Structure 1
Amino acid sequence: MFRHTAAPLGAALIALMSAAPVHAASPEEQAVLAPFQSILDAIAKRDRNLMRDNMLPGGMATLKRGDKITQLHFDSFIDHIPVTGTQQLQERIYNPLVKIDDDIAVIWTEYQFFIDGKVDHCGTDIAHLVKRDGRWLVAGIADTQRKDCP
């Protein structure tokens, strides 16, 4: 049976490094958003282990940068996250749409990425997740990136 679920427009502003809980329309949507938000938090904390803990081994990241599409296995994607540095990294997602069917789910959300409190780029994040042993894990990520942010 297919269940269509979506967070109401404006219902969710999820900021890295904040204590604000994920605001989704249902506990099931919150459970789907939680590992994705943990990955964003891990980027801000420069914590590669936390990223890995929320990703399905063997997953892929597909990144659109200008006219170029790059695909990376999660291990390579994680290796690109700096483990040191003084810049404050923060990604905020807005208006996430969550769809769930049994043990698979999709998140489609707008985002803005901040470096030292200033918008560096924005776009759309898409993540697909699977539930394994009762726990949601991110199986794949795709995003767009542009500089002409509102």
Structure 2
Amino acid sequence: MLRFILLVLLFLTQMVFGQGSTDEAAVKETIDEFFTGFHQQDSIQIKATVFNPVMQTIGKSKEGLTLVRTETFSNFLKSIVSIPEDKVYQEKLLGYEIKIDGDMAHAWTPYEFWLNDEFSHCGVNSFQLVRKDDDWKIIYIVDTRRREGCQ
């Protein structure tokens, strides 16, 4: 009987931990799809990864004061699709730290941004996601941007 109980506990433990890694992979996939759309200037693909997103950037003014800028999602999309073809840009994600609780996920992704093959800036993206209809959707993105202290 004790063996049966231990076997059941082992099985349940594997199910719980297996689900977590599956969810983490799905969260990462949503973020990767967002950036694929971003780099291809594909507003339809970007829209497929979000649900009424809030977008903010944290940076510094010329005087060194902390600024928080909020951008509408529609303006973000317009700015991405209007980048001229002669501008080559790439946001390189340097890693993923993903935390999940039920239908909420958080992903922390350090990055470097390159423009025309030259380093522009670095920072961190912080994504909040919600599981909606069995898919993970981005509901909030806040990033930092800086030129110093980059890897």
The TM-score normalised by the length of structure 1 is 0.76
User: Do the aligned residues in 2 keep the contact of 1:129 with 1:139 (CA within 8 Å)?
Assistant: yes
- How far, CA to CA, are the matches of 2:42 and 2:140 in structure 1? 19
Deviation at 1:84, TM superposition (A): 4.2
The match for 2:32 is 37
Q: 1:46 aligns with which of 38, 41, 49?
A: 41
The match for 1:83 is 82
The match for 1:134 is 134
Q: Which has the higher helix share?
A: 2
- Equivalenced residue count is 126
- How far, CA to CA, are the matches of 1:52 and 1:104 in structure 2? 19
- How far, CA to CA, are the matches of 2:83 and 2:108 in structure 1? 30
- How far, CA to CA, are the matches of 1:47 and 1:69 in structure 2? 26
Amino acid at match of 1:75: S
User: Do the aligned residues in 2 keep the contact of 1:47 with 1:83 (CA within 8 Å)?
Assistant: no
The match for 1:10 is none
- Unmatched 5+ stretches in structure 2: 1-16, 61-65
**For 1:93-132, what aligned pairs fall within 5 Å after superposition?**
93-132=93-132
- How far, CA to CA, are the matches of 1:135 and 1:83 in structure 2? 29
CA RMSD of aligned residues (A): 1.8
Choose between structure 1 and 2 for higher RCO, CA contacts under 8 A separated by at least 6 residues. 1
The TM-score normalised by the length of structure 2 is 0.76
Matched, 1:64 2:58: yes
Structure 1 residues 109-128: Cα deviation after superposition (integer angstroms, max 9, x where no partner): 21111112222110011000
Amino acid at match of 2:90: Q
| Secondary structure of 2:80's aligned partner | coil
Of 82-91 and 110-119, more deviation after overlay is shown by 82-91
The match for 1:145 is 145
Segments ≥4 residues shifted beyond 3 Å: none
Greater C-alpha radius of gyration: 2
- How far, CA to CA, are the matches of 1:72 and 1:43 in structure 2? 16
Structure 1 residues 35-57: Cα deviation after superposition (integer angstroms, max 9, x where no partner): 11212121211111211111102
Of 98-107 and 40-49, more deviation after overlay is shown by 40-49
- Unmatched 5+ stretches in structure 1: 6-24
